[in-house]
Amino acid sequence: MSSTPLSKVLVIDDELGPRESLRILLKNEYQVFLAENVASGLRLLQEQGPDVILLDIRMPGMNGIDGLTEIRKLDQEVSVLILTGFGTLETAQEAIRRGANDYLKKPFDTREMQETVRKHVQRTHFQRRHRQTTEALRQINQMLIEELASKDRMAQMGQKTAEFLHDLRNPLTAVLGYVELLGDELRQSKDKLGSQWEETSEFLQNIEKNLEHCRELTQMWLQLGRKDRQAVQVLSLAELLHEVAESVHLQCLERGCQLKLDIPSGLPCQIEGEHVQLVRAFSNLVSNALDAVAEHTGSVAVRCRQEGPWVEIRIVDNGPGIAPENLTRIFEPYFSTKGKAGTGLGLFITQQVIVERGGTIAAESTPGAGATFIVRLPLAKKICKP
Ligand SMILES: Nc1ncnc2c1ncn2[C@@H]1O[C@H](COP(=O)(O)OP(=O)(O)OP(=O)(O)O)[C@@H](O)[C@H]1O
Ligand SMILES: [Mg+2]
């Protein structure tokens, strides 16, 4: 049978008489420890962790008042009851101001003494439980804060991962498409591969280009968050847009749609930026337009013109356009009307890339009459003629 351990009372008194009588009066209800001076009382306090200390004031060596200060340095919660003899009442009251919890007058009224000790044992228990609860709450709070912080990190990671996968999807789809085509060609042209070689090698070149793009994207992913990402270069807008056209070539073929690049010759089209970022931005816009237009009759045009120190690139399609209530939301992350086929990150990423280059992007649409995305980018300084 397990019984709750007895509460502990420590008596610190230099006189044997009161020490012994307290022991006898309390021993049935408590574990009683006796000390004849403050030093051994402090030792017992550390060893036994009493619930109540009965502390005499007048003692040789360290007196009760100084002893109280030492006790409080070790234990804030234990109840300390001052034992007062004749003429030390004021000192006892002073002790209460300094952190004692109550006082008992010698000679003791047995019942009052037992009542007071009982009350203060409970008080100490309450204080300790209160501290434990407060500590437990603090720990829970800390855990919640850490969990929230880690959720936040996870959310950021999740967002970046989704962006990364989104970016990887287009070039990988293209690679897979070409690989499939190549496989077909090789199978059909087994015997006469010689005459087919030109086309076959073109497919191979496309695979290489797309794989290179994947490599660049992977590198960008690894460098995410670092200030020294891919170097900002001066880029030819015409070359960049031809690269974009190549990256969506297969999508055009599949949908039987036309993509027209309208880049006036002599346009001083040098822009500054990270090559891979700008390719991804324009690929997203053209790819969206190709998604939107009708198969076989759809057409998408990319038109460039200079406006002072800016170049304006319009991506125009003859698809169904964008409903006004969606037009205000299309740049939000995860907004998509394509169900499982879309992540809704394309335009969000594109906007970030353009804004990072000091440019702007806007969408216009008359439902039923297509959509136009207007990108404005600053022309590269020095290199461009005004
Ligand atoms: N040219 C367009 N014509 C009509 N709607 C468009 C056009 N471009 C974008 N949208 C609308 O904007 C939404 C968001 O485009 P966004 O590129 O951000 O995501 P998504 O294309 O749906 O998904 P993902 O880019 O992952 O394929 C699209 O779902 C579509 O509703
Ligand atoms: Mg998209």
More confident residue, 301 or 226: 301
Q: Residue 44's pLDDT is what?
A: 97
Distance CA 322, CA 354 (A): 21
Least confident of 47-56, 146-155, 218-227: 218-227
pLDDT-derived band at 232 (thresholds 50, 70, 90) equals confident
- Burial (CB < 10 A; 0-12, 13-18, 19+), residue 103, is buried
pLDDT in tens, 371-380: 999 999 999 8
Q: How far is the CA of 324 from the centre of ligand 1 (A)?
A: 14
Residue 366 near ligand 1, beta carbon < 6 Å = no
Domain-embedded: residue 161? no
pLDDT-derived band at 217 (thresholds 50, 70, 90) equals confident
Q: Residue 98's pLDDT is what?
A: 85
Residue 79 has pLDDT above 90, yes or no: yes
Residues 330, 365, 265: CA angle, nearest 5 degrees: 100
Domain-embedded: residue 145? no
pLDDT-derived band at 35 (thresholds 50, 70, 90) equals very high
Residues 238 and 374 in one domain: yes
Ligand whose nearest atom lies closest to the CA of 344 = 1
Q: Are strands 360-365 and 299-307 parallel, antiparallel or unpaired?
A: unpaired
Residue 4 has pLDDT above 90, yes or no: no
| Residue/partner pairs of 161-168 with CB below 8 Å, 24 or more apart | 162/343, 162/345, 163/345, 163/349, 164/217, 164/221, 165/343, 166/343, 166/345, 166/346, 166/349, 167/217, 167/280, 167/349, 168/214, 168/217, 168/218
CATH code at position 350: 3.30.565.10
Q: Residue 127's pLDDT is what?
A: 87
pLDDT-derived band at 87 (thresholds 50, 70, 90) equals low
User: What's the average model confidence in pLDDT over 16-28?
Assistant: 93
Q: How far is the CA of 29 from the centre of ligand 2 (A)?
A: 79
Decide if 53 contacts 45 (C-beta within 8 A). Answer: yes
Q: Residue 196's pLDDT is what?
A: 66
Q: Residue 227's pLDDT is what?
A: 47
Q: Residue 218's pLDDT is what?
A: 62
Residue 281 near ligand 1, beta carbon < 6 Å = no
Residue 330 has pLDDT above 90, yes or no: yes
pLDDT-derived band at 5 (thresholds 50, 70, 90) equals confident
More confident residue, 385 or 90: 90
What's the predicted TM-score (pTM) here? 0.55
User: What's the average model confidence in pLDDT over 288-297?
Assistant: 93
Residue 191 has pLDDT above 60, yes or no: yes
Domain of 98 in residue numbering reads as 8-108
Q: Which of the listed residues 83, 108, 133 is the one where a domain comes to its end? A: 108
Q: Residue 190's pLDDT is what?
A: 59
Residue 385 has pLDDT above 50, yes or no: no
pLDDT-derived band at 318 (thresholds 50, 70, 90) equals very high
Q: Residue 197's pLDDT is what?
A: 66
Closest CA to 117 of 182, 34, 54, 39: 54
Residue 350 near ligand 1, beta carbon < 6 Å = no
User: What's the average model confidence in pLDDT over 80-102?
Assistant: 83
More confident residue, 308 or 10: 10
Q: Which of the listed residues 108, 126, 154 is the one where a domain comes to its end? A: 108
pLDDT in tens, 353-365: 999 899 999 999 9
Q: Which of the listed residues 108, 124, 142 is the one where a domain comes to its end? A: 108
Q: How far is the CA of 334 from the centre of ligand 1 (A)?
A: 10
Query: Which residue type occupies 257?
Result: C
Residue 337 near ligand 1, beta carbon < 6 Å = yes
Residues 288, 337, 261: CA angle, nearest 5 degrees: 10
Domain-embedded: residue 55? yes
Out of 144-153, 188-197, 328-337, give the one with best mean pLDDT: 328-337
Q: What percent of the chain has pLDDT over 70?
A: 86
Residue 223 has pLDDT above 60, yes or no: no
Q: How far is the CA of 288 from the centre of ligand 1 (A)?
A: 5
Residue 343 near ligand 1, beta carbon < 6 Å = yes
More confident residue, 127 or 53: 53
Domain-embedded: residue 383? no
Residue 31 has pLDDT above 50, yes or no: yes
Domain-embedded: residue 223? no
**What is the three-state SS of the chain?**
CCCCCCCEEEEECCCHHHHHHHHHHHCCCCEEEEECCHHHHHHHHHHHCCCEEEEECCCCCCCHHHHHHHHHHHCCCCEEEEEECCCCHHHHHHHHHCCCCEEEECCCCHHHHHHHHHHHHHHHHHHHHHHHHHHHHHHHHHHHHHHHHHHHHHHHHHHHHHHHHHHHHHHHHHHHHHHHHHHHHHHHCCCCHHHHHHHHHHHHHHHHHHHHHHHHHHHHHHCCCCCCCCCCEEEEHHHHHHHHHHHCHHHHHHHCCEEEEECCCCCCCEEEECHHHHHHHHHHHHHHHHHHCCCCCCEEEEEEEEECCEEEEEEEECCCCCCHHHHCCCCCCCCCCCHHHCCCCHHHHHHHHHHHCCCEEEEEECCCCCEEEEEEEEECCCCCCC
Domain-embedded: residue 323? yes
Domain-embedded: residue 96? yes
Domain-embedded: residue 330? yes
pLDDT-derived band at 281 (thresholds 50, 70, 90) equals very high
pLDDT-derived band at 386 (thresholds 50, 70, 90) equals very low
Mean pLDDT of the chain: 85
Residue 311 near ligand 1, beta carbon < 6 Å = no
CATH code at position 12: 3.40.50.2300
Count of structural domains within the chain: 2
110-188 vs 275-292: helix crossing angle, rounded to 10 = 70
